[in-house]
Amino acid sequence: MKTTRPASTPSAALGTGAAAEAKAGEEHARSSAPVTPPAPGGSPTTQAAGELSGTKPVFDITVHGTPGPQGSKTRNPSGALYESSAKVKPWREAVKSAALDALAYDEAWRPLREAVRLEVVFTLRRPRSHYGTGRNAGVVKPSAPQFPIGKPDTDKLLRSTQDALKDAGVLLDDSVVTDTVAAKRYVLTGVDALSHPGAVIRVWRLTKPKEPES
């Protein structure tokens, strides 16, 4: 199933701060070196696991919101464990909501139970320390990193996203994901990088669909 992804929100509609960030991201992307390698936003035809079942993703959405990592636990005074990041729950809800909205247009959809490839490009907001001050406010410093090499970890972002896809009924279970490709990008700094925090999510079948068990 191919769904039309919502167009990225124009910078003018994002407010002064976000507009400056988007503009700065564009300028930094053009001037930074080395050149950004191809992001995983293409439509590959073969993988190590075998030939993809079709050249288009069976599921394709854009999620708007701040990606939240899942996996780091904190123990409270009573001994109970809970997620360290407060961003996990809102992110999972954002992914689930976007997925359910997309699936609502396909009455024949069934959770994917065959081997699939999951591809996600996460867009993160730059820290304030990456920008200049005074007359250079809103301008990315030349010394600022081109890629988000700090936390959150990519694998933990994938974990929360994958669980949300299962909760929405996109995947029958996490175990059907045999191939994953993930990238972290700052706003407007590469293929599929949005003008604001969020993610582009695509799923490909690696084998022919299985018949539902009776």
Residue with tokens 């769904």: 3
> Is 183 within a domain?
yes
Q: How many Å apart are CA 77 and CA 55, to the nearest integer?
A: 52
8 A C-beta contact, residue 38 and residue 197: no
Among 52-56, 72-76, 135-139, name the one with the lowest average pLDDT: 72-76
Give per-residue pLDDT as tens, 99-123: 999 999 999 999 999 999 999 999 9
Give per-residue pLDDT as tens, 124-137: 999 999 999 999 88
Out of 3-17, 31-45, 86-100, the most confident range is 86-100
> Is 149 within a domain?
yes
Cα Rg of the chain, angstroms: 19
> Is 67 within a domain?
yes
Domains held by the chain: number? 1
The pLDDT value recorded for residue 45 is 33
> Is 143 within a domain?
yes
The pLDDT value recorded for residue 213 is 63
Rounded mean pLDDT, 52-64: 85
The three-class DSSP label of residue 191 is: coil
> Is 184 within a domain?
yes
Confidence of residue 154 (pLDDT cuts 50, 70, 90): very high
8 A C-beta contact, residue 106 and residue 112: no
The pLDDT value recorded for residue 31 is 40
Q: How many Å apart are CA 69 and CA 31, to the nearest integer?
A: 30
Check which CATH number belongs to the domain holding 66 and give it. Answer: 3.30.1330.70
Q: How many Å apart are CA 139 and CA 155, to the nearest integer?
A: 30
> Is 126 within a domain?
yes
Structure-token pair, residue 13: 């509609």
Rounded mean pLDDT, 37-53: 41
The pLDDT value recorded for residue 156 is 95
> Is 210 within a domain?
no
Q: How many Å apart are CA 48 and CA 46, to the nearest integer?
A: 7
Structure-token pair, residue 77: 């005074």
Residues of the chain above pLDDT 70, percent: 65
Confidence of residue 209 (pLDDT cuts 50, 70, 90): confident
Among 71-75, 147-151, 175-179, name the one with the lowest average pLDDT: 71-75
> Is 65 within a domain?
yes
H-only helix segments in the chain: 16-31, 88-103, 154-168
Residue type, 106: D
Find the domain containing 135 and state its range: 11-37+46-205
The pLDDT value recorded for residue 44 is 38
Residue with tokens 């045999």: 178
